[in-house]
């Protein structure tokens, strides 16, 4: 009995222990599930957000424009705002003496002397010049040594001189300083210089050769703009940037001479900083940027007591460039901005717009219209995603459509797919029609003529199917992209026109799909405010007459950073500048853009495989392997067709497919065919069977002397090798004349060769056109130099055209070595001389010759001795330039050139 009881007790204890284990296990599972549920809830539920930040409401927190002549007390007890000590206050008399800047006798090019190619200030100077599309040349500032050539053909080569370090200017040796100063005085050229104190700088010193003293290593505060400074143009005077200026390495200027006018002034932080100025120096305003009116030595200058890190210096620097070049290097005060809101219906739940956000969008648009005429938010839509948010967000969608006529609209793709993924125009167009049907059903305007592709896919690099579908479905006239020619640096972005559609550059504004909370902005909210208040976003508006900004739906929900950013930006621009902000619809905006920048109408096609972003948005059915590895560039009538036929015999070399209109030549880089785009160009080449060993090429003989061809070719084919065939230019000219006679050119039929080449400038137009085509290509050195501006000398091979005619096997052996093609092909066996044709032809079965067509190897009368003597003299200097060029390149002289120079020397 006792044993049975003991057994029961053990059993009960085991059950209890089992239940306890299960209970513990259940508790663990419960805790894990609770943690998972909590994590899910926290990550997916809407955040309790603070009130959206308020846009800027003042002009920099400063005194709102206290005049520099005003004072707060006659007894001197208050703050007296005055000029920097010892700068002469009366200016009317001085300004009558100031000579207006007239640099009309100079080229509109800026000469920039930098400390090194890596110096930060030098790079910032260049960045502003490039952003403004001003031409420039950089030189390492010489401590000693020769100044670069400043004049050419009685014109100045530079309209402005900039020194990154003004000490390199004042310490020039006497010869170069005198040379530069005489140039500046004679041609009306100004100088901009920067002085940035370092650990070796003296606290006080006189600027060598100038009645100007520098006081360095200062901490400053409360930046003022002098309204009397003549250079002010964009910069609005009478503003005060209150607070400490960054750093304690500022330099201020002091002078007794009437030539100096302060531009920017500030107070010192410390009462001990400028004790040498006497009592009250801390209250005084000291000049950190001064304008030299030229009353001292006839040269006008602007000197900065720091670098360009501070935003106001950049603004004044732009004004200084405009003033010192007589507004030759200057944009107008008009600035056009367009704010695109991409993907207005595309976004995750919790990031989309609600009714209150739409109301805020409308209210801000109304406020901005009072500041920016015609301001309208431009909304991009993909209809498939309408009503895919929460109920509250769907009501926001409905409110957008209720107010659809208050906005501008533009289409994306129906399902937001990237267009480059569609290889069939019909399928792509059907996707667009679905979006158009959605727009029509909901009353969205469909006639704006503007569209944006998701992720800029298909716009650039060009996907021709996209352009065709856009035109057929929507009648698109304008689009925009941040990808042409590359995303970064942004200052290089440009526009172009392709297939009748104008493509404008698009700018980012620091807002992306993930930037939705002010306090969570990358780097902190101060980074966004810095961009607006004189930083990247402000500079984008300052340096671009037209800016299309890309924003996203999520930037207008949540903290509404889009509204905060653009209202703050507009107010800041209007506080500190005289810029006239306005908005135009996209089509009118595009017309305005290409009126300002007509040179951008023609695109410059780049190689898509040299930019990872471009390759990612390029059709996977396309490959850069179809692009040629080398080009035969001409010139015409030198034997390029024979060379083409010889190259095509090589088993590893493949020529482009023939053109139905231009035969073996594509003529892509030299004319209207370039507008067809690289898809069209690549269709002339097969897919290579072996990328590493197959050599594809094309021959277009008019590339040689077409001015735009080298730049275009190098943009698309930067690693290509270049073959040029040169014969005696006199023989080339005569051959072209005979070619035109054979093609029934009236000018050639009605005039002797001698009459053509000796015709004066008043001759008939058709005669002068023929003369130019006879003579101009023969200036070989000039045209080769154009190619060498874009290709390395190692990429260029000169073919001796006379030797190609007499001993082609030898020439072809040299070409194979230059190209690096394998295997080496035996042209001695592949070619044979044809007596009837008078040149070498392909050897075919049976020992027969297969020669070029009837138009090749024509027999025509010898050139007259009179014409040959005239041309020998005409090309004498050109041939000497070719001699010098080939010697410089280390290339052998063609046999005909040696003979020509010997006979010319003998005569």
Q: Helix H segments across 274-416? A: 311-324, 355-371, 391-402
User: How far is it, in rounded angstroms, from Cα 705 to Cα 779?
Assistant: 9
Q: How many Cβ atoms from other residues are within 10 Å of residue 130's Cβ?
A: 15
Of 377, 191, 374, 314, the C-alpha closest to 577 is 314
CA distances to 34, 230, 460, 611, 686 from 607, rounded to whole Å, are: 55, 47, 11, 8, 18
Q: Is 837 among the catalytic positions?
A: no
Write out the DSSP string of 214-277: EEEEE-EEEEEE-TT-TT-SSB-SS-EEEEEPS-S-EEEEE--STTEEEEEEEEES-TTTTGGG
Write out the DSSP string of 440-495: HHTT----S-B---GGGTTTTTT-HHHHHHHHHHT---EEEES-SS-SSSGGG---
Largest CA distance in the chain: 146
R_g of the chain, CA atoms, integer Å: 36
- Give the SS3 label for residue 50: coil
Q: How far is CA 808 from the centre of its chain?
A: 45
CA distances to 3, 97, 288, 442, 789 from 84, rounded to whole Å, are: 111, 22, 9, 64, 50
Of 74, 575, 679, the C-alpha closest to 312 is 575
Cα dihedral 339, 342, 344, 346 in deg (nearest 10): -160
- Give the SS3 label for residue 199: coil
Q: Hey, which residues does 252 pair with through a beta bridge?
A: 215
**Kind and range of the H or E element at 108?**
none
- First and final CA of the chain: distance in angstroms? 145
Q: Which residues of 550-582 are buried (b: 16+ CB within 10 A; e: fewer)?
A: bbbbbbbbbbbbbbbbbbbbbbbbbbbbebebe
Q: Helix H segments across 153-224? A: 166-170, 174-187
Phi/psi of residue 712, nearest 5 degrees: -65, -45
Of 580, 820, 517, 539, the C-alpha closest to 693 is 820
Structure tokens at 95: 């300004």
Place of tokens 């009126």: 595
CB-based contacts of 433: which residues, under 8 Å, 6+ apart?
473
User: How far is it, in rounded angstroms, from Cα 527 to Cα 535?
Assistant: 9
- Give the SS3 label for residue 611: coil
Please say whether the dihedral angle defined by the alpha carbons of residues 173, 174, 178 and 184, taken in this order, is positive or negative: positive
User: How far is it, in rounded angstroms, from Cα 885 to Cα 584?
Assistant: 52
Q: How many Cβ atoms from other residues are within 10 Å of residue 416's Cβ?
A: 19
CB-based contacts of 368: which residues, under 8 Å, 6+ apart?
375, 566, 567, 570
In the DSSP assignment, the letter for residue 189 is -
CB 715 within 8 A of CB 606: yes
Place of tokens 């799909």: 513
Query: Which among 354, 637, 699, 721 is annotated as catalytic?
Result: 637
Q: How many Cβ atoms from other residues are within 10 Å of residue 524's Cβ?
A: 12
Place of tokens 């900039």: 162
Residues acting as catalytic residues: 637
């Amino acid at each position: 009995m006792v044993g049975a009881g003991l057994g029961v007790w053990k059993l009960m204890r085991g059950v209890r222990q089992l239940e306890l284990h299960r209970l513990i296990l259940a508790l663990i599972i419960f805790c894990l599930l609770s943690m998972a549920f909590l994590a899910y809830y926290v990550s997916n539920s809407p955040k309790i957000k603070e009130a959206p930040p308020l846009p800027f409401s003042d002009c920099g927190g400063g005194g709102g424009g206290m005049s520099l002549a005003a004072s707060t007390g006659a007894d001197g007890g208050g703050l007296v705002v005055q000029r920097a000590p010892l700068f002469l206050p009366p200016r009317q008399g001085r300004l009558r003496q100031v000579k207006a800047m007239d640099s009309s006798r100079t080229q509109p090019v800026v000469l920039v002397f930098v400390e090194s190619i890596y110096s930060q200030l030098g790079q910032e100077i260049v960045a502003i010049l490039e952003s403004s599309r001003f031409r420039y040349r950089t030189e390492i500032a010489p401590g000693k040594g020769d100044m670069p050539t400043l004049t050419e053909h009685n014109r100045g080569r530079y309209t402005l001189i900039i020194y990154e370090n003004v000490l390199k200017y004042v310490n020039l040796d006497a010869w170069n300083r005198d040379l530069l100063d005489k140039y500046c005085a004679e041609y009306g050229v100004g100088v901009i210089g920067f002085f940035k104190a370092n650990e070796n700088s003296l606290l006080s010193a006189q600027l060598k050769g100038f009645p100007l003293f520098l006081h360095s290593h200062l901490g400053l505060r409360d930046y003022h703009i002098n309204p009397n400074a003549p250079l002010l143009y964009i910069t609005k005077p009478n503003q005060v940037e209150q607070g400490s200026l960054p750093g304690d390495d500022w330099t201020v200027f002091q002078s007794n001479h009437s030539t100096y006018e302060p531009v920017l002034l500030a107070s010192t932080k410390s009462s001990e900083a400028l004790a040498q100025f006497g009592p009250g120096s801390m209250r005084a305003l000291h000049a950190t940027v001064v304008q030299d009116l030229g009353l001292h030595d006839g040269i006008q200058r602007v000197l900065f007591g720091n670098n360009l890190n501070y935003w106001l210096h950049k603004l004044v620097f732009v004004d200084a460039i405009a003033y010192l070049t007589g507004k030759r290097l200057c944009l107008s005060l008009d600035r056009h901005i367009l704010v695109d809101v991409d993907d207005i219906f595309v976004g995750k739940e919790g990031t989309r717009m609600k009714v209150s956000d739409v109301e805020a969008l409308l209210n801000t648009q109304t406020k901005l219209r009072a500041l920016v005429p015609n301001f309208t938010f431009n909304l991009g839509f993909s209809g498939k995603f309408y009503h895919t948010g929460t109920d509250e967000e769907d009501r926001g969608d409905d409110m957008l459509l209720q107010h659809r006529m208050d906005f501008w609209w533009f289409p994306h793709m129906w399902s937001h797919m990237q267009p480059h993924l569609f290889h069939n125009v019909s399928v792509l167009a059907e996707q667009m029609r679905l979006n158009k049907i959605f727009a029509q059903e909901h009353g969205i305007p469909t006639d704006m003529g503007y569209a944006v592709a998701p992720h800029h896919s298909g716009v650039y690099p060009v996907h021709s199917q996209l352009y065709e579908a856009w035109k057929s479905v929507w009648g698109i006239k304008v689009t925009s992209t941040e990808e042409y020619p590359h995303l970064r640096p942004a200052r290089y972005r440009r526009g172009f026109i392709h297939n009748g559609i104008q493509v404008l550059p698009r700018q980012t504004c620091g807002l992306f799909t993930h930037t939705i909370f002010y306090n969570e902005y990358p780097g902190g909210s101060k980074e966004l405010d810095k961009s607006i208040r004189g930083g990247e976003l402000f500079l984008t508006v300052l340096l671009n007459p037209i800016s299309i900004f890309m924003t996203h739906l999520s930037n207008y929900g949540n903290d509404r950073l889009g509204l905060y950013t653009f209202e703050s930006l507009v107010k800041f621009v209007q506080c500190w500048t005289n810029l006239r902000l306005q908005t135009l619809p996209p089509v009118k905006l595009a017309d305005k853009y290409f009126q300002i920048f007509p040179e951008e109408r023609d695109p410059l096609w780049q190689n898509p495989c040299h930019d990872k972003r471009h390759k990612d948005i390029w059709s996977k059915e396309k490959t850069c392997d179809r692009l040629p590895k080398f080009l035969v560039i001409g010139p015409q009538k030198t034997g390029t067709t024979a060379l083409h036929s010889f190259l095509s015999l090589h088993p590893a070399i493949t020529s482009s497919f023939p053109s139905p209109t231009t035969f073996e030549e594509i003529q892509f880089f030299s004319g209207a065919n370039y507008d067809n785009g690289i898809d069209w160009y690549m269709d002339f080449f097969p897919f290579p069977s072996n990328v590493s060993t197959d050599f594809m090429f094309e021959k277009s003989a008019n590339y040689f002397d077409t001015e735009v061809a080298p730049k275009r070719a190098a943009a698309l084919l930067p690693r290509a090798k270049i073959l040029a065939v040169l014969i005696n230019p006199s023989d080339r000219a005569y051959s072209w004349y005979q070619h035109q006679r054979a093609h029934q050119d009236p000018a050639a039929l009605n005039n002797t060769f001698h009459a053509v080449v000796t015709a004066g400038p008043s001759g008939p137009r058709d005669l002068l056109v023929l003369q130019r085509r006879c003579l101009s290509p023969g200036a070989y050195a000039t045209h080769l130099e154009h190619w060498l501006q874009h290709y390395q000398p190692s990429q260029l091979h000169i073919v001796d055209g006379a030797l190609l005619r007499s001993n082609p096997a030898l020439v072809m052996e040299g070409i194979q070595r230059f190209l690096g093609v394998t295997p080496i092909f035996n042209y001695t066996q592949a070619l044979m001389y044809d007596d009837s044709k008078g040149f070498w032809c392909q050897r075919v079965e049976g020992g027969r010759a297969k020669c070029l067509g009837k138009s090749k190897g024509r027999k025509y009368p010898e050139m007259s001795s009179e014409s040959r003597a005239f041309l020998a003299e005409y090309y004498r200097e050109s041939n000497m330039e070719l001699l010098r060029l080939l010697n410089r390149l280390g290339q052998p002289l063609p046999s005909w050139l040696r003979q020509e120079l010997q006979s010319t020397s003998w005569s």
